[in-house]
Amino acid sequence: MHVIDESARQVLDAVLRGEADFGLSFTGSQESALRFEALTRERYVLAMPRNHRWARRKEVAWSELAGQRLVSVSRDSANRLLLDQATADLPQQPVAWYECNHVAGALALVEGGLGLAVLPQLALPPGHSQVCGVPLIAPDLWRTLGLLQRRDRMLSPAAEALRQRLVQLHAVD
């Protein structure tokens, strides 16, 4: 089994080209050649060091991010497209001080104390010792993660077993 750990666009392309049996992503549900099987929904949160003054808050409004030192994923990221759409109508746009190609890189910069980052909730391991996530509001922003598979492709037994396990573990309520 070969696992491709890349951006949502690269995962989508690998599935479309037949280089991957299936993909786990939040993009691609509009592709007619693919079947998208929703697994779970996750909220975007503001990741910050546990000692940050906002760490004990129940929520943070997007408008409060203006003027904050932010870490962001790159403009090529599908996550970034969602984030830019969510902030498009704000009177003052949040500005990224640092950009990373992957969510894991942004989390590492938050761990290092270089800023705050808007990340999908599942990017933060439960009980992380250094970083916590506070839900963002106004607007709430969620994404649906699911499995992408070519409609015309049968899965190998190993790939089908993994797909079934993922469905069992993360089935949407």
Task: Judge if 8-40+144-170 and 42-141 fold alike in CATH terms.
Answer: yes
Averaged pLDDT, 152-162: 93
- pTM for the model stands at 0.88
User: How confident is the model at residue 106, as a pLDDT?
Assistant: 96
What's the residue count for the chain? 173
Q: According to the model, what pLDDT value does residue 21 have?
A: 93
> Which pLDDT tens digit goes with each residue over 31-62?
899 999 999 999 999 999 999 999 999 999 99
Topology, domain 42-141 = D-Maltodextrin-Binding Protein; domain 2 (3.40.190)
88-100 pLDDT, tens digit per residue, is 888 998 999 999 9
Q: DSSP characters for 119-165? A: EEGGGS-TT-SSEEEEEEESS--EEEEEEEEETT-PPPHHHHHHHHH
Domain ranges of the chain: 8-40+144-170, 42-141
For the domain bounded by 8-40+144-170, which CATH number is listed?
3.40.190.10
